[in-house]
Structure 1
Amino acid sequence: MLSSFNEWLFQHKFWLPPNSTWAQLEDHDGLVFAHPQHMLAALPLALVLVAVRITFERFVALPLSRWLGVRDQMRRQVKPNATLEKYFLTTGRTPKESQMAILAAQCGLTLRQTQRWFRRRRNQDRPCLSKKFCEASWKFVFYLCSFFGGISVLYHEPWLWIPAKCWENYPIQTLQPSLYWWYLLELSFYISLLITLPFDIKRKDFKEQVIHHLVTVTLIGFSYSCNLLRIGCLVLLLHDSADYLLEVGKMFNYAGLGLACDVVFLVFSLVFFYTRLILFPTQIIYTTIYDSIANSSPFFGYYFFNMLLMLLQVLHVYWFCLILRMLYSFLKKGQLGKDIRSDAEESESSDGEVASEVPQLKNGVARGPAAVPANGPRSRAARRLANGHVPAT
């Protein structure tokens, strides 16, 4: 049954232009073509990249971060509290004030102490600067090597400068060894990112990043299997051209090099805008929609490939909106603010609290003139909860 399904799914009429068959892409007379099984090598290579990344971050990136003066902020550890920990893990990381008052009463703590516990507990889960620096360093090295490696592989190819040439004699296009290894390395890298997702820094656009990696892996695998390497290479090269700038900008930011970070971010914004919002739709998507079927009719693979490219373009627009917000902050304040994709470290004065508690007497009245009860909830709802008047649910 499975073999029948595979035979039906991989029919050439689905994935290749009309009047083209898989038999035409079989190796013959010294000519080598792309075959789906070639990409299976990406799985062990992805594991190798994970090992290389761990080694690189530990023995290169971490010492570099210390040399550049990256210092992790000291965080106060929370006191173990089973009730609060259970709520934090199962219900929510930021309870409302009414729920906070209930938890405080259950644990015999003041509202302020409970707020502080949740704030410090949230800070414990946030990645430290050195971890952020190491992750950015690894991605910077890979994207930089990939970009210039891709330039060296594609520089003499006419379809790098004229995308319409990607479709000459398609799909009967032979496979170049250098192109194969570069393509394989790119696929392995994005698979390695999916493998390390549970351990990497989770930013506010985490879901979008997951979608991006899945779409990229699907695009690379599909384009290789259908011998769409030429246009696939242009997509990869175009993305790498901006990614390494973003990562080195992050490194400067974590190292406290504000001026260098600002300059790199401005350059990155311009490159991102030109490559993702101008070149990508007007050159890449245009040629895949129009030039690819100039001598044939549309087929299922045509629609599938363009759908994935359109999804990538939606993500480009989303990320550029985030870039515009940071550029607005830069123009308004004269310097870049924090990365709006990352959670900021909460200070000891968060939630409207003071840094240190006022000393209390046993009856709950604070010392000092015009003081309010230090262990009393602030809102009307919280006072009712503390007095035992729990509102009906």
Structure 2
Amino acid sequence: MGALDQWLWRQEYWLPPGITWEDMQAQEGAHYPQPRDLLVTLPLALGFIVLRYAFERLVALPLGRRLGVRDRTRVPASPVPHLEAFYSQRSHQPSQVSLRCACAQREILCLAKHCDITRRQVEAWFRRRRNQDRPSNTRKFCEACWRFAFYVVAFTAGLAVLIDAPWFWDQRECWNGYPQQSISQAHYWYYLTELAFYWSLLLCVSVDIKRKDFKEQIIHHIATITLLGFSYCSNYVRIGTLVMLVHDSSDFLLESAKMFNYAGWRKTCDGLFVVFATAFLVTRLLVFPTKVIHTTLILSMEVFAPFFGYYFFNFLLLVLQALHIFWAWLILRMVYKFIFQGKVERDERSDEESGEEEDSEEEEETEEEECSWEKRNTSPIDSRLAILTNNCVLNNLTNQRSSASGRLPKSR
């Protein structure tokens, strides 16, 4: 352990040539960043998780009801033990798991034969079962509301503590006296609070809503945590504060657009999306590479010779920039749809549960066949209740489709 600790904290990794850890010891009237300061982020991350739990239930949930957030009515899948065991133990889509079968459809046929039902009834059961596990609009609204609240506070606080900083206006000041640059209490807490928040996002990733860009989000969280932690130990705090401010400047706009989207405020959502897309493209594709990356790659070379931390820090920044380009491509697709179709159908950047619309359309086609199957596989009393429930649900779906058809043209 001692050898590993000595290898990990070698000054050649973290500090420019000619600077030692002894030079970074706190002097009278000055505080330099120390690696042990990062331990504060772990209890802060746990505090964020507790605060989020309380915020979503005490603030986000009532706010969502007032804004009109409504959950979709979903027909539950009838209890079939064999299909439920396959769903929970093997796969949510049986046609994609069996490599031993000569044909992909053979897995569904085997399940249909075992349960004495048709192939279409098996497919309908799995569609309904997947719909039961999909997150509701209320849950998605609460998650977006929590992130919106944090990003608004973080961006406001970051702008307040950086507006008077010399490196906010002249990026060359990021390297004036580097690395022996003292850190103020305001910048200290701003930095560690942001790092703790991303720790909380990473800890909650298994229970959060799994979105279209789930893998990219994992990479983003890990890269951000590594970037913030390494930059703090190497005293890249000045440039790090600019990185955080650039990211927070557009993130709260995205979360607000999501909130109004789940509440059904289409015009407000579309307007916020246009503002978000503009802010994102300007800050991530123009400001970030020309101000931040150019500063770390080019201007820093005027002060010190390249070392391991220089290459590693810039590598992480380039990873973030690659993610920015990926998300910008998704956003530009949405802008294209918004301009030529007059609406934004979904958040392609990070809020699409894949396959839900396709499942809903296919479910409508097999509704009558599924209902007749449920009648045959239930007791007389349960059959009457199931018929009554299905009739109510079908009436609700019919009313929803009829009201929607009065507003929008059919797409099929």
Which residue type is aligned with residue 281 of structure 1? P
CA displacement 1:169-220 (0-9 Å, x = unmatched): 0001001000001111101100111111111100011111011011111111
Distance 1:311 1:168 in 2: 26
Distance 1:329 1:270 in 2: 15
Q: How do 1:79-90 and structure 2 match up within 5 A?
A: 79-90=78-89
Aligned equivalent of 2:222:
214
Q: Which moved more, 1:9-18 or 1:183-192?
A: 9-18
Aligned equivalent of 1:259:
267
Q: How do 1:8-47 and structure 2 match up within 5 A?
A: 8-47=7-46
Distance 1:273 1:79 in 2: 47
Aligned equivalent of 1:379:
none
Aligned equivalent of 1:177:
185
- Unpaired runs of 5+ residues, structure 2, are 96-104, 374-412
SS in 2 for 1:28: coil
Is 2:50 aligned against 1:51? yes
CA displacement 1:51-91 (0-9 Å, x = unmatched): 11000000110011111111111222212223222322343
Distance 2:106 2:34 in 1: 61
Which residue type is aligned with residue 181 of structure 1? W
User: Does structure 2 retain, via aligned residues, the 8 Å contact 1:14–1:300?
Assistant: yes
Is 2:208 aligned against 1:200? yes
CA displacement 1:84-123 (0-9 Å, x = unmatched): 2232234332233432222111111122221111001110
Q: Which has the higher helix share?
A: 2
- Unpaired runs of 5+ residues, structure 1, are 362-393
Distance 1:273 1:147 in 2: 17
Aligned equivalent of 2:362:
350
Distance 2:208 2:372 in 1: 43
- State TM-score, norm by structure 2: 0.84
Distance 2:360 2:42 in 1: 45
Structure 1 position 22, deviation (Å): 1.1
Which residue type is aligned with residue 40 of structure 1? L
CA displacement 1:289-316 (0-9 Å, x = unmatched): 1111213211001000011001001111
Aligned equivalent of 1:240:
248
Structure 1 position 278, deviation (Å): 0.8
SS in 2 for 1:357: helix
SS in 2 for 1:19: coil
Which aligned segments of 4 or more residues in structure 1 are displaced greater than 3 angstroms?
344-349, 358-361
User: Does structure 2 retain, via aligned residues, the 8 Å contact 1:276–1:313?
Assistant: yes
Q: How do 1:92-103 and structure 2 match up within 5 A?
A: 92-96=91-95, 97-103=105-111
Q: How do 1:1-393 and structure 2 match up within 5 A?
A: 2-96=1-95, 97-340=105-348, 341-343=351-353, 345-346=356-357, 348-350=360-362, 353-357=365-369
Distance 1:359 1:114 in 2: 13
CA displacement 1:218-250 (0-9 Å, x = unmatched): 111111111110000000000000000000000
Which residue type is aligned with residue 23 of structure 2? Q
Structure 1 position 142, deviation (Å): 0.2
Distance 2:238 2:361 in 1: 55
User: Does structure 2 retain, via aligned residues, the 8 Å contact 1:348–1:354?
Assistant: no
Which residue type is aligned with residue 57 of structure 2? R
Which residue type is aligned with residue 204 of structure 2? T
User: Does structure 2 retain, via aligned residues, the 8 Å contact 1:349–1:355?
Assistant: no
Structure 1 position 325, deviation (Å): 1.5
SS in 1 for 2:352: coil
Distance 2:272 2:73 in 1: 29
User: Does structure 1 retain, via aligned residues, the 8 Å contact 2:141–2:258?
Assistant: yes
User: Does structure 2 retain, via aligned residues, the 8 Å contact 1:140–1:247?
Assistant: yes
Structure 1 position 351, deviation (Å): 6.2
Distance 1:360 1:208 in 2: 43
Structure 1 position 352, deviation (Å): 7.8
- Pair 1:200–1:59, CA change in 2 (3 A): same
Which residue type is aligned with residue 128 of structure 2? R
Which residue type is aligned with residue 71 of structure 2? D
Distance 1:142 1:179 in 2: 17
User: Does structure 1 retain, via aligned residues, the 8 Å contact 2:69–2:264?
Assistant: yes
Distance 2:370 2:63 in 1: 43
Distance 2:234 2:41 in 1: 17
- Pair 1:348–1:295, CA change in 2 (3 A): closer
SS in 1 for 2:367: coil
Structure 1 position 143, deviation (Å): 0.2
Which residue type is aligned with residue 25 of structure 1? M
- Pair 1:106–1:185, CA change in 2 (3 A): same
SS in 2 for 1:172: coil
User: Does structure 2 retain, via aligned residues, the 8 Å contact 1:136–1:251?
Assistant: yes
User: Does structure 2 retain, via aligned residues, the 8 Å contact 1:49–1:192?
Assistant: yes
Structure 1 position 331, deviation (Å): 1.8
How many residues are treated as equivalent by the alignment?
Answer: 361
SS in 2 for 1:356: helix
Distance 2:168 2:371 in 1: 71
Structure 1 position 339, deviation (Å): 2.4
